[in-house]
Amino acid sequence: MLPDVARAWEHLQRVAQDLFARYGYEPVYTPLFEHTEVFTRGIGEATDIVSKEMYTFEDKAGRSITLRPEGTASVVRAALEHNLTANGAQAKLYYSGPMFRYERPQKGRMRQFWQIGIEVLGAAEPTADAEVITVLWRYFEALGIPAENMRLLLNSMGDEACRPAYRDGIAAFIRSHGSELCEECNRRADTNPLRAFDCKNPACRAVMATAPLLREELCGDCAAHYTAVKAHLDALGIPYEEDSSLVRGLDYYTRTVFEIQVEAGLGSQNAIGGGGRYDRLMEAYDGPPTPGLGFALGFERTLLAMQAAGVEIPAPPRAEVFVARVDDSVTAEVFALAQRLRDAGIAAELDHQARSLKSQFKQADRLGARFVVVLGPDELAAGEVTLRDMSSKEEKRVALDAAPAAVAAALG
Ligand code: HAM
pLDDT tens digits for range 346-368: 999 999 999 999 999 999 999 99
Give residue 264's pLDDT band: very low, low, confident or very high (50, 70, 90).
confident
The Cα 301–Cα 273 span in angstroms is: 9
Ligand 1 atom at minimal distance to the Cα of residue 101: 19
How far away, in angstroms, is 45 Cα from ligand 1 center? 17
**Statement: the pTM of the whole predicted model exceeds 0.85:** yes
How far away, in angstroms, is 334 Cα from ligand 1 center? 50
Q: Is 294 in the pocket of ligand 1 (CB under 6 A)?
A: yes
Q: Which of 99, 254, 266, 306 to mutate to test the pocket of ligand 1 (most atoms within 8 A of CB)?
A: 99
Rounded to 5 degrees, φ, ψ at 188 are -60, -25
pLDDT in tens, 274-302: 999 999 999 999 999 999 999 999 999 99
The pLDDT of residue 179 is 94
Q: Is 255 in the pocket of ligand 1 (CB under 6 A)?
A: no
pLDDT in tens, 176-207: 999 999 999 999 999 889 989 988 899 999 99
> What stretches of 45-122 adopt beta strand conformation (E)?
56-58, 64-67, 91-100, 112-121
pLDDT in tens, 19-74: 999 999 999 999 999 999 999 999 999 899 999 999 999 999 999 999 999 999 99
Helix (H, G, I), strand (E, B) or coil at 270: coil
Residue 245 has pLDDT above 90, yes or no: no
Q: Where are the alpha helices (DSSP H) in 281-397?
A: 281-284, 299-308, 331-343, 357-366, 377-382
Residue 314 has pLDDT above 90, yes or no: no
The pLDDT of residue 101 is 98
Q: What is the CA radius of gyration of the chain?
A: 28
